Structure 1
Amino acid sequence: MSNPDSLALERIEQRPQTLRLIALERLRDAILEGRIVPGERLVERTLSDRLGVSRSVIREVIRNLESEGLVETTGSGPRLATINRDETSQVYAIRLQLESAAAAACARKATPEVLRALTAELDAIAQAHAEHKPINALRATNSFYETMFLGGGHTVAWEIVQRLHGRISRLRAMTLSSEQRKADGLSQMREIVSAIKAGDAARAEAACRQHVEGAARQADILLTSRDSEVESV
């Protein structure tokens, strides 16, 4: 890495059976929080020292992150992937179709337990934003969508979304760097839940489409700004 000492990763002291998963979560969090920048090399020895795990565990973690689209391997080794505009467009197109259909299905099938869970997850997102804890907000948002998909019986669609989890989370972290997007996104998610509670499938679908389209527009604004800065250098 360009400056290994600047990468603050909490050392893993315990040795549970899920050591690889803990290391994966720690490194993924570092990526989503922007502590590792696009194009930065992921050096096995450095990561092994920082996390206190073997290099074989780090290799497994890097393979996982590569499968999620967060890491790419080049001639000089693995590095954090740059966000690709074409792939970004595809991710939002997939989200638009799957999430809007799941919202409509959830409005038709949601149980009282599902409705309570959706409300609690919205509250958790709002609290995370208020406390400026982006990772907590991302986790609560992922839980929200899991509840919505499974509450509507869209289990296969949720499996597809999970395969895109890394890309979706990274784009979500990027768009939520905007305070306005945080406010707009939460307001739109509240409208989705309101429609689901009312059992209004068409309204839930429309609200979800508005939410995803808003996120896609924000991503496009940020990527356009990034590309303009690169061209001006």
Structure 2
Amino acid sequence: MKEAKTAQRDAYSLILEAIDVGEFRPGDRLVESDLAERFGVSRTPIREALQRLETQQLLTRDGRSLIIASLDHNQMAELYVVRAELEGLAARLAAKHATEEETRVLRDMVEDDRYLVNNPSALARANRRFHRQLHLASHNRFLMQQLTLVHQSMALMETTSLAVEGRGETALAEHDAIVRAIEARNEGAAQAALKDHISRAFMTRLKLDASAFES
């Protein structure tokens, strides 16, 4: 029984990671046999993992097939509203509870990421690591659980807003402001800086989608 649960968890994690890093994109069809071969897992845990992802609305039905879900405009807007509030709270709690070591790690991430501004895909991965580290620094397990669900849904977007010209440099400046507020133990400033960061990311996303529609 334990081995079965481990296989199910691993299959779920493997598929989720593939979605998160963009190996599977919205609209891609997922086939049990293909996934079992790809990940070296039997079809039973793959099936159970797909059912779990469908329950979480990361997958949707197209006839008898399961495909990676996509977000329409309203869903995207709703997601950003929730993300701004939850991430803002995480930043506020990080300013209060983060250890000196956690704060230094956040600072090092900002400095290291300056070398990635011309590589949107690498910067997007670094961005996820930064936000994950900030979540950990909040020291609130229940908030982290909710943020994990939000960031899983963020993976359903077609492209990263960091691919927009100039957004990488701006996003890093926003990360710097967040970390400076956390370093100063200024809870209100940390929350405001994080919410401003998410707001600007949302505006960039809207402009990106508008450009795609026009083309």
TM-score by length of 2: 0.81
Paired residue for 1:145? 134
Paired residues of 1:128 and 1:136 also in contact (CA < 8 A): no
Query: Aligned to 2:61, what secondary structure does the other structure show?
Result: strand
Query: Aligned to 2:160, what secondary structure does the other structure show?
Result: helix
Paired residues of 2:106 and 2:130 also in contact (CA < 8 A): no
How far off its partner does 1:70 sit? 2.4
**CA 1:85–1:156 in 2, change beyond 3 Å: closer, same or farther?**
same
Paired residue for 1:183? 169
1:74-153 aligned at under 5 Å gives the runs 74-123=62-111, 125-126=113-114, 132-133=121-122, 136-150=125-139
**CA 1:61–1:134 in 2, change beyond 3 Å: closer, same or farther?**
farther
Paired residue for 1:9? none
Root-mean-square deviation (Å): 3.0
Q: Take 1:69 and 1:21, find their aligned partners in 2: how far apart are those partners?
A: 18
Give the number of aligned pairs: 212
> Which stretches in structure 2 are left out of the alignment for 5+ residues?
none
Instruction: Give CA-to-partner distance per residue, 1:52-81, whole Å, 9 cap, x none.
Output: 221112212223333443211232321011
Paired residues of 2:91 and 2:135 also in contact (CA < 8 A): no
Letter in structure 2 aligned against 1:137: A
- 1:46 lines up with 2:37 in the alignment: no
Instruction: Give CA-to-partner distance per residue, 1:123-168, whole Å, 9 cap, x none.
Output: 5655666665357425413422323422xxx433222212223113
Task: Tell me which of 182, 188, 213 is aligned to 2:199.
Answer: 213
Query: Aligned to 2:30, what secondary structure does the other structure show?
Result: coil
Query: Aligned to 2:106, what secondary structure does the other structure show?
Result: helix
1:148-187 aligned at under 5 Å gives the runs 148-150=137-139, 154-171=140-157, 174-187=160-173
**CA 1:24–1:121 in 2, change beyond 3 Å: closer, same or farther?**
farther
How far off its partner does 1:196 sit? 1.1
Q: Take 1:134 and 1:67, find their aligned partners in 2: how far apart are those partners?
A: 30
Instruction: Give CA-to-partner distance per residue, 1:167-201, whole Å, 9 cap, x none.
Output: 13444962223352222212101110001111222
> Which stretches in structure 1 are left out of the alignment for 5+ residues?
1-14
TM-score by length of 1: 0.75
Paired residues of 1:121 and 1:144 also in contact (CA < 8 A): no
The higher-RCO structure (CA 8 Å, 6+ apart) is: 2
Paired residues of 1:138 and 1:172 also in contact (CA < 8 A): no
- 1:31 lines up with 2:19 in the alignment: yes
Letter in structure 2 aligned against 1:107: A
Paired residues of 1:124 and 1:140 also in contact (CA < 8 A): no
